[in-house]
Amino acid sequence: MKFAISSKGDGTSNILAQKMRSYLLDFELEYDEDEPDICISVGGDGTLLYAFHRYRGRLDKTAFIGVHTGHLGFYADWVPEEIEKLVIAIAKTPYQVVEYPLLEVIIRHHHGGKETRYLALNECTVKSIEGTLVMDVEIKGQLFETFRGDGLCISTPTGSTAYNKALGGAILHPSLPAIQLTEMASINNRVFRTIGSPLILPDHHTCLLRPVNDVDYQITIDHLTLLHKNVKSIQCRVANEKVRFARFRPFPFWKRVRESFITEND
């Protein structure tokens, strides 16, 4: 089996990554940064997001494992004290793979420009560079509302505990192939109206955001921030691809949520 390790880059994470690498090499696993079967992320969720984007071209072949070094590590199952146990598990036991839904984002431009496709593990957010964001929101080809406000967030189930949660969105179990649309400070009065509630869209219900005025947009895909000009539309839906995590022991989603947001103690 071939493995790769992504480190957050701080001292603690680097030492841990180095240790795991030499232990795994001792077990005669092969280090392959380009085509790993498993990628171990050492750091926090940011590190895992980075690793996901590094291997997004081979999501069907690379499974992820998270070790967290002092950060929240919602995606991480292991703590530094457990790495010997983890290394033995990786080397000796067949692991289970759990798959979680992803968000597909296609950005199209005016003037026959290229279209760009992205995959997000957490979410995509759209904000206007200048002034109020004004977007027609279409769902399944029908105009739903004209949004005016600070921005919109479209998240995956596993991303629902990140930015989406801060916006008052629901936490979605990742067995649901769905995406969630949440608002950032919408303008609501006699003249302008949006739904106000987060919307959860099933598989194949495409959400299309169409700019009403011609401004530049700040679009984020997970931790990446992009500037897009001449945007014709931003299309969001559940992706065909999934992210795969290598599981060596059960870690139910609601336990993960409880330990991240309520208490680490049982």
List the single partner that 232 binds among ligand NAP, Mn ion, none, CB under 5 to 8 Å by kind.
Answer: none
Q: Which of 158, 180, 182, 186 binds ligand NAP (CB under 6 A)?
A: 158
Residue with tokens 């950032």: 184
Q: Which of 5, 29, 38, 49 binds ligand NAP (CB under 6 A)?
A: 49
246 and 63 Cβ atoms separated by less than 8 Å: yes
User: Smallest distance, Å, CB 94 to Mn ion?
Assistant: 31
* Stretch of 25-33, 40-48, 54-62, 88-96 lying at the interface with ligand NAP (CB under 6 A): 40-48
CA dist., res. 157 & res. 150, Å (int): 23
Residue with tokens 């006699």: 190
Q: Applying CB under 6 A, does 100 fall inside the site for ligand NAP? A: no
* Stretch of 21-29, 44-52, 209-217, 233-241 lying at the interface with ligand NAP (CB under 6 A): 44-52
User: Smallest distance, Å, CB 71 to Mn ion?
Assistant: 6
User: Smallest distance, Å, CB 223 to ligand NAP?
Assistant: 3
Q: Has 247 been labeled as part of a binding site? A: no
Site track for ligand NAP across 57-96, x = CB under 6 A: --------------xxxx----------------------
Catalytic residues: 45
Q: Applying CB under 6 A, does 166 fall inside the site for ligand NAP? A: yes
Q: Which one, of 101, 106, 53, lies nearest residue 236 by Cα?
A: 106
Residues of this chain that bind Mn ion (CB under 5 A) = 44, 46
Q: List contacts with ligand NAP (CB under 6 A).
A: 44-46, 49, 71-74, 122-123, 158-159, 161-163, 166, 222-223
